[in-house]
Amino acid sequence: MSIELIKGNTAIAEAALRAGLDAYFGYPITPQTELLEHLAKRMPELGRVFLQAESEIGAIHMVYGAACAGARTMTSSSSPGVSLMAEGLSYIAASDVPMVLVDVMRGGPGLGNIAPAQQDYFQMVKGAGHGGYRPIVLAPATVQEAIDLTYAAFDLAEHYRTIVVILTDGTLAQMMEPAELPPMRERGSPVSKAWALSGAQGRERRIFTSVHMSPEEGEAYVAKMGEKWDVITANERRCVAEQTTDAEWLLVGFGTAGRVAQSAMRAARAAGLKVGMWRPISLAPYPTPELKALAPQLRGCLVVEMNAGQMIEDVRLAFDGKVPVSFFGRTGGVVPVPEEVLEAVERMVNSTREAVC
């Protein structure tokens, strides 16, 4: 393996393929289209399934079918397309079949624009479709991390029989960075899965349905879903902390905004401020205990997002009123720059000092 200069979309596609992707179904939408294009070439070369669907609705329900068939399956899209997939995501979650979704977020709402944004944190993290299911949501901040998380996503999806979302944005998807791709994995047979549909040869028939007709049955299913989420929450929290040991102030951001915040944190350190940086990688489950543990040492926290304030709610929940939380965000596809984040840090520090005096 070697380091190469590779674009985010291509890197995610190739990592998925090397993780043993059996079947991809997708629909073109900017800024994720190169992902689909890469697989359009690579999947048939390897004798695997690639299909450009008639719509995102078609694509997600093809994924649903392929997932029930036991395949390692995936789709990718961007914000408006993901809205169309919300229906299928709910059914897939309710059927306990594994799949991976890559959401390359863009400016919104509506048709919005094709510039990078993080305006779909609520949508993905809180469950895009109806019914209160929870997907695992992973947010990379570098092309290398996107590769590593995508490679791991399929194992996670199959282990828990759940949806795993790689939540990224147009910056990372369109950016080229030096990164290393993982080795090509041996693929398992979809038929070998003890739950998959393949035809009831020499066994009892299997059924996938999301119908729970009696309210009691429905309640029992939701409880089971909750138990699964508890296990996921206990085992799958991921986050990165930098310079937090002596930090009095904390910058929090995920994905691209996390990277911008990291630059701002380093600039703040250079200016003599005791600022640390915390970046959740798993947005669901949220690394709440890890964030909460920092509370006693902090005088203030600044959340940086490429939206009008969404993840900030989970930060406030984690701190439970014990740390003042302020916000800096750019919206509509505008990417914040470290200088303006640094200014926001300085405002936070100064206003807290004034309050103390």
Partner 1 sequence: MLTMEAPEVHVVFDRPESLTEVDTHYCPGCAHGIAHRLVAEVIDELGIRERTIGVAPVGCAVFAYNYFNVDFAEAAHGRAPAMATGLKRVHPEAVVFTYQGDGDLASIGIAEALHAAARGEHLTTIFINNAIYGMTGGQMAPTSLPGQRTSSSPCGRDVETMGMPLRMTELLATLPGVTYAVRRSLHNPKNILQAKKAIKLAFENQIEQRGFSFVELLSTCPTNWGLTPSEAMSWVEQKLIPFYPLGDYKVL
The binding site for partner 1 (CB under 8 A) comprises 22-23, 25, 49, 51, 53-55, 57-59, 61-71, 73, 87-88, 91, 190-191, 197-202, 205-211
Q: Cα separation of 150 and 132, whole Å?
A: 24
- Report the chain's terminal Cα–Cα distance, integer Å: 57
Phi, psi of 338 (to 5 degrees): -55, -35
Asked if 196 and 206 count as a contact pair (C-beta separation under 8 A), the reply is yes
Q: Closer CB to partner 1, residue 198 or residue 297?
A: 198
Q: Could you give the dihedral angle defined by the CA atoms of residues 261, 266, 268 and 271, in that order, rounded to the nearest 10 degrees?
A: -160
Asked if 99 and 157 count as a contact pair (C-beta separation under 8 A), the reply is yes
Asked if 155 and 291 count as a contact pair (C-beta separation under 8 A), the reply is no
Run of H or E residues at 84: helix 79-95
Q: Closer CB to partner 1, residue 210 or residue 352?
A: 210
| Distance of closest approach, residue 200 Cβ to partner 1, in angstroms | 5
Q: Closer CB to partner 1, residue 197 or residue 260?
A: 197
| Distance of closest approach, residue 294 Cβ to partner 1, in angstroms | 43
| Distance of closest approach, residue 174 Cβ to partner 1, in angstroms | 29
Q: Closer CB to partner 1, residue 191 or residue 334?
A: 191
Closest CA to 156 of 98, 101, 96, 233: 98
Q: Closer CB to partner 1, residue 165 or residue 197?
A: 197
| Distance of closest approach, residue 51 Cβ to partner 1, in angstroms | 6
| Distance of closest approach, residue 21 Cβ to partner 1, in angstroms | 12
